[in-house]
């Protein structure tokens, strides 16, 4: 496969949420080098819905982790909201994640002994947000995903689909600039998976910027752009009109 031509000019542009130039990621274990990403060039504009597709082991989740500052590249340049992030400290990265990035994981990552309300509220507590504002944001987020009637329930009292909707509410409550979804339907049956995808579609139509990793090719149809990874490189990009 031929990789796409690189656009190596990173420039300040208010429309750009993410800009990546030559991002590489190498994992070292027992003197073995694993090249997860091999020079990714990518931009995401405000209001995009980007789907990241490709076979298992091609680097999809690694790329998403770097986007969300959960991991750092071995080489390359990365601008998040027009600010370079490669040299940030762990505390600086944590603050940016808390305020500017919302995460939706395959395994939901809800805390079992906290209620639905408390799970959604927790990132806002870490932010130091006043109680009144926290309460309003939590209720608004749960209303959006139609889970306000379950706010006192524990995760164990919810179905998988309901837990994922709570996880979406938790991501939304902080009003992030970008939502990162890593296999958001991976642990759901097809019916609940479609419900979650319809919710993401609705959020995108309301202006959310979304980057999603999915193994289900059907879900690429919800995205405005699809990039295909192979051996850690972007080998194809397709718009929602089907042109590449």
CA diameter of the chain: 54
Residue 243 has pLDDT above 50, yes or no: no
Residue 199 CB-density burial (10 A; 0-12 exposed, 13-18 middle, 19+ buried): buried
Token pair of 188 as six digits? 């759901």
Summary mean pLDDT of the chain: 90
- Segments forming the whole domain that contains residue 124: 47-70+90-239
Does 53 map to a domain? yes
Which of 6-15, 55-64, 96-105, 184-193 bottoms out in mean pLDDT, i.e. has the lowest? 6-15
117-167 pLDDT tens trace? 999 999 999 999 999 999 999 999 999 999 999 999 999 999 999 999 999
Confidence band for 6, pLDDT divided at 50, 70 and 90: very low
Residue 147 CB-density burial (10 A; 0-12 exposed, 13-18 middle, 19+ buried): buried
Q: What is residue 87's predicted lDDT score, i.e. its pLDDT?
A: 85
Does 181 map to a domain? yes
CATH of the domain at 61: 3.40.50.300
Does 60 map to a domain? yes
Number of domains in the chain: 1
Alpha helices in 110-244 (DSSP H): 116-127, 131-144, 160-173, 190-205
């Amino acid at each position: 496969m031929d990789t796409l031509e690189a656009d190596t000019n990173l420039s300040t542009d208010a429309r750009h949420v993410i800009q990546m130039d030559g991002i590489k990621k190498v994992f070292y274990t027992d003197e073995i080098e694993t090249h997860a990403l091999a020079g990714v060039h990518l931009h995401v504009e405000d209001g995009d819905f980007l789907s990241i597709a490709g076979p298992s082991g091609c680097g999809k989740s690694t790329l998403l982790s770097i986007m969300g500052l959960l991991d750092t590249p071995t080489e390359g340049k990365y601008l998040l909201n027009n600010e370079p992030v490669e040299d940030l400290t762990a505390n600086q990265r944590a603050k940016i994640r808390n305020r500017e990035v919302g995460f939706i994981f395959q395994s939901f990552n809800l805390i079992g002994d906290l209620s639905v309300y408390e799970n959604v509220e927790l990132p806002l507590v870490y932010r130091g947000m006043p109680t009144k504002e926290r309460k309003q944001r939590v209720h608004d987020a749960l209303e959006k995903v139609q889970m306000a009637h379950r706010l006192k329930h524990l995760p164990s009292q919810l179905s998988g689909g309901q837990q994922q909707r709570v996880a979406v509410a938790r991501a939304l409550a902080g009003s992030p600039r970008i939502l990162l979804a890593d296999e958001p339907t991976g642990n759901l049956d097809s019916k609940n998976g479609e419900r979650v995808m319809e919710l993401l579609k609705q959020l995108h139509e309301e202006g959310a910027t979304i980057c999603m990793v999915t193994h289900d090719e059907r879900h690429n149809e919800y995205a405005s752009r699809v990039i295909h990874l192979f051996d850690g490189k972007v080998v194809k990009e397709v718009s929602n009109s089907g042109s590449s």
